[in-house]
Amino acid sequence: MDARTLLDQLFPAGHDVVFDGPYFAGSGRCGAGSVAVIGSVDAAPIGIELAHRMAGAVLDVVREHPGRPILLAVDTSGQRLSHRDELLGINGYMAHLAKCIALARNRGHRVLGLVYSKAVSGGFLASSLLADVCYALPDAEVMVMNLPAMSRVTKIALERLQALSQTSPVFAPGVANYLAMGAVEALWDGDLAQRLDAALAAPVDGDRRRAVGEARGGRLLARRVAERVRTDAVG
Amino acid sequence: METLTFEYRGGRALAAPAAATLTGVVGSGNLEVLVEPAALDGACRVEVTTAAVGFGRIWQAVMDDFFARHPLADVQISINDVGATPAVVSLRLDQAVEAFRGGVA
Amino acid sequence: MSHSYFEANARERLAQLLDAGSFRELLPPGARMTSPHLPPLDAPVAFDDGVVVGAGTLDGRPVLVGAQEGGFNGGAVGEVHGAKLTGLLERALDERPAAVLLLVESGGVRLHEANAGLIGVSEVMRAVLAARSAGIPVLVLIGGQYGCFGGMGIVSRCCDAIVISEEGRLGLSGPEVIETTCGVEEFDSRDRALVWRTVGGKHRYLLGEADRLVPDDIAAFRAAARELLDTRPDLSLAALEAEHARLGRRIDRFGDCRDARDIWTRLGIAAPERLPLLDTAEFLAATADRRA
C-alpha cells in the first residue's frame, strides 16, 4: 500500500501530513484525538539526513504536543550503505532517533510502529522496532537479508536455507516470522482507522515482545534467558 | 558436525574441590574446553563436538595422550571445536586443566 | 606490564578490567545455554553463546558487565546472546549498580538467526534506554579485533559514553558489506588506511562519536571506565535537543567531506595527514580542543 492511501484509510476524518522527498510528517485525526505521524516512502534507505529529520520530528511532537500519540510509518530498505554515511557516524544518528523515541515514551507519549510496505534491518531497528508496539499490514515485507545474500555470506547452501525456512521463523524474510517471534503484535487488515483506535486504547506494559514470541512458539528462549540473567543468584 | 565421546578410568580425584572453568574460544582453528567436576564414579569423560568430521582416530590419540599427562577422576570435559590442529587441542587442554586445578579464572 | 585489549578474549578482558577476583558470572558456560538455531545449519555452538555476563566490582564499586566474544561468529547477536544482554541491563533496574559496562565486540546480527538477532538487538536498545532512564549509566568499551558494527554500533551510541582505542572500530555497515553491495569504488575494504581513518578510534573520537581515546591496554580501559562511573545519564528533552543540534551542525559542517582528512582539516588540525602515525598521547596532544 502506498503512504497516501494508508493515511486516508487510517484517518478518514482527515490529516495534514506533508510529504517531502522520502520523508513525511504531520498529524491525523482519529477517535481519540490527534495522532502525530512520522514516516518515509518508497523503501527509502535511511541515511544520516533522514534519521536526523525523523528524530527532529519526534522532538517537535514532544515539545509542542505533550502526550500526543506518535505513529511511525517507516518504509525502508534498510540503513543507507555508503562510505560518507559511515564517515559521518550514521550509527550515532540512528541511535539519536532511538533516544528520541525513548524520550517520547518516557514523557507519556504512546509510540506505535506500522510497517505498511517494507522494513529491513537497521532501518527497521532504529524506528518501528523501538515503538511500544509494532503492527504491520499483511503484505508488508520484513527482513534482515534475503536468502540468496544470506547464503553467500554464511556459505550455507541456498536450498538448505529455503528448506529450513519452511519450519523455522528465525532467519528467513517474512512478516509472519516477525509475528511469530513477537516483534509484530498483529497484522492490520479491514478497517485501519478502527485498528488504530483500538491500538491507542490498549494498555502498554514495558517490552512484552519476548513473552509474546514465547506464547506464539516463535521465540522460545529469549524470555527465559533474560529472566534468568535478571534474577539468578550470582555464583 | 560430529560428536565424539571418550571415557577414561584409573585417574585421581583432585585434593580440593574445583570450580568449572572455560578456556579458549569457538573460532576457526580453535576450540573451547569446559572442565567441570562431575560425579562419574571415578571416570573422566570427554565429549567433543567438532566441525571437522572424520577425525575420530586422531581425537582418540590426542585424548589418550592427554589422559596420560593428566589422569583426572570425576571430571567432565566438554569441547566445542572448529577444526583445531592436534597441537592446539593439546595446548588448550593443558591450559584448561591448569586453570581448573589452580582455580585461575 | 601492559596487556593488549585487542589481543585478549572476552574473559581475559573482564578478569583484568574488574577488581581482581571480583567477577561472578550469570548463566555460566556450565548452564550450556547454547543457541538452538546453529546446529540445524551445521554451525558450531559456544557454551556462553559468545557473550559473558555477570557482576563484579570496579574500584570497589558494584558493576554489572557484559563482554562479547569476537572470536565466536564475530560477536554476532543471536537469540540467546541478545537475551543475556537484555537480562543484564534489566537486572540493573533491580540491583542499581554504579554502572553497567558493555565490552562490545560485534559485527551485528547473527545471520543464522537473523530475525531473532535483530529483534534481540532492539530489546537490548530498549533495555539500555530503560536503564539510563532509571539513572544507571551504561558505558561501552570498544577495542577488539572485530570492532563494533551493525546493531551493536547503534546500541553503543544509545549508551552514556564510549571508550575506544585507536585499534577500535565503530560504525553501522562494515566496509566489506558496503563494498560487496555498492562496489569497490564506494568503499575499498582492503585499503586498511582508508578503513581505519573512516571507522577507527581516532576519527570516532575527533568526530565526537566516542568520548575517550585510550591506548590498547586493558589497564587504560579500566582507568577510563573508572573515571566515567560517575556519569549521570541525561535523556531529557534539553539533552536530546542539544544532541540534535550537534548532529545537525555535523551535517552542515562536514556533509560534503569525502574523506576523514577533509574533516580533520576543517577542524583546524595542523598536518592532519600525520594523525594516523601518532601514538595515543601524541594524538591527544595534537588534537587538544579541536574535536567537533
Domain count, chain C: 1
Tell me if chain B has a CB within 8 Å of the CB of C39.
yes
- CA–CA dist C102, C122 (Å, integer): 16
Distance CA A190, CA A181 (A): 23
Quote the mean pLDDT of chain C: 97
CATH number at residue C107: 3.90.226.10
C173 touches chain A (CB under 8 A): yes
Which residue among C170, C235, C248 places its CB closest to the CB of A106?
Answer: C235
CA-nearest of B92, B3, C132 to A95 is: C132
Domain around B82: 2-100
User: What count of CB pairs under 8 Å joins A to C?
Assistant: 267
Binary contact (C237, A103; C-beta < 8 A): yes
Residue to substitute from A96, A153, A171, interface C, most C β-carbons within 10 A: A171
CA distance A74 to A46: 10
pLDDT in tens, C45-79: 999 999 999 999 999 999 999 999 999 999 999 99
Selected residue of C27, C34, C173 to mutate for chain A interface (largest A Cβ count, 10 A): C173
Confirm whether B105 is domain-assigned: no
Q: Provide the pLDDT for residue A121.
A: 96
Find the Cα–Cα–Cα–Cα dihedral C182, C186, C191, C195, rounded to 10°. Answer: -90
The answer to whether residue C187 is domain-embedded is no
In a domain, C249, yes or no: no
Question: How far is CA A148 from each of CA A144, A161, A163, A189, rounded to the nearest angstrom?
Answer: 12, 9, 13, 30
Give ipTM to 2 decimals. 0.98
Interchain pair B1, C44: CB under 8 A = yes
Of C201, C101, C162, C70, the closest CA to residue A95 belongs to: C162
CA distance linking residue C175 with residue C184, whole number of Å: 10
Report which of C98, C23, C15, C95 is spatially closest to residue C55, judged by C-alpha positions: C23
User: What is the number of alpha carbons within 13 Å of residue C272 lying toward its C-beta?
Assistant: 17
- What is the Cα–Cα distance from B30 to B55, expressed in whole angstroms? 15
Does C216 lie at the interface with B, CB-CB under 8 angstroms? no
Asked if the model's pLDDT at residue C256 lies above 80, the reply is: yes
| Neighbour subunits, C (≥3 Cβ pairs < 8 A) | A, B
Instruction: Provide the terminal-to-terminal Cα distance of chain A, rounded to the nearest Å.
Output: 53
pLDDT at position C157: 98
Structural domain boundaries enclosing C225: 10-170+210-233
Q: How many CB atoms lie within 10 A of CB A113?
A: 26
Is 60 exceeded by the pLDDT of residue B104? no
Instruction: Say yes or no for a CB contact (<8 Å) between C47 and B32.
Output: yes
* All three cell numbers of B41: 564414579
| Beta carbons of C29 and B34 less than 8 Å apart | yes
Check whether domain A3-137+188-204 has CATH 3.10.20.600, yes or no: no
- Cα separation, C7 vs C84, in Å, equals 24
Q: How does DSSP assign chain C, residue by residue? A: ----TTTS-HHHHHHHHSSTT--EEES-GGG----SSSGGGT----TTTTEEEEEEEETTEEEEEEEE-TTTGGG-B-HHHHHHHHHHHHHHHHH--SEEEEE--B-SB-GGGHHHHHHHHHHHHHHHHHHHHTT--EEEEE-STT-B-THHHHHHHTSSEEEEETT-BB-SS-HHHHHHHH-TTT--TT-HHHHHHHHBHHHHHHHTS-SEEE-S-HHHHHHHHHHHTT------HHHHHHHHHHHHHHHHHHTT--SHHHHHHHTT-SSGGGGGGS-HHHHHHHTTT---
Q: Does C15 touch chain B (CB under 8 A)?
A: yes
Contacts B81 to C, Cβ<8 Å:
44
Task: Name the residue type at position B60.
Answer: Q
pLDDT in tens, C106-152: 999 999 999 999 999 999 999 999 999 999 999 999 999 999 999 99
| Amino acid identity, position B88 | V
Residues of B in contact with C29 (CB under 8 A): 20, 22, 32, 34
- Asked which of A135-139, A202-206, B61-65, C10-14 is least confident by mean pLDDT, the reply is A202-206
Q: Is residue C265 part of a domain?
A: no
> Which residue stretches of chain A have pLDDT < 50?
none
Q: Sort C123 into a burial class: Cβ within 10 Å, 0-12 / 13-18 / 19+.
A: buried
What span, in angstroms and rounded, lies between the C-alpha atoms of C84 and C74? 17
Contact criterion met (CB below 8 Å) for B62 and B86: yes
pLDDT at B103 over 70: no
Sign (positive or negative) of CA dihedral C85, C140, A47, A104: positive
Listed residue (C51, C41, C47, C43) closest to C82, CA to CA = C51
pLDDT at B99: 94
Residues of B in contact with C30 (CB under 8 A): 20, 34, 36
Interface check for C212 against chain A (CB to CB < 8 A): the answer is: no
Does residue C166 sit within a domain? yes
CB pairs under 8 A between B and C: 48
Share of chain B above pLDDT 90, in %: 90
CA angle A116, A121, A123 (to 5 degrees): 65
From A24, A22, A72, A64, select the one nearest A47 (Cα to Cα): A22
Which chains does chain A touch, 3 or more C-beta pairs < 8 A?
Answer: C
Q: Please give the backbone phi and psi of residue A135, each rounded to the nearest 5 degrees, phi first.
A: -115, 170
Report yes or no: C48 at the B interface, CB cutoff 8 Å: yes
Whether chain A has a CB inside 8 Å of the CB on C50: the answer is no
What's the structural domain count of chain B? 1
Domain locations along chain A: 3-137+188-204
Nearest Cβ partner of C47 from B34, B81, B82?
Answer: B34
Which residues, 6 or more positions from C187, have their beta carbon under 8 angstroms from its beta carbon? Answer: A82, A83, A86, C175, C178, C179, C194, C198
Q: What percent of chain C has pLDDT over 90?
A: 99
φ, ψ at C252 (rounded to 5°): -60, -40
Under an 8 A CB cutoff, do C11 and B1 touch? Answer: no
SS (H, E, C) C16-74: HHCCCCCCEEECCHHHCCCCCCCHHHCCCCCCCCCEEEEEEEECCEEEEEEEECCCCHH
Which CATH number belongs to the domain containing residue B69 in this structure? Answer: 3.30.230
Judge whether C186 lies within some domain: no
Interface of A with C in 65-94 (CB under 8 A): 79, 81-94
Burial of A214 (0-12, 13-18, 19+ CB in 10 A): middle
Point out which residues pair with B21 in neighbouring strands: B35
Chain C nearest CA to A47, separation (Å)? 11
Find the residue in C nearest to A175 (Cα). C115
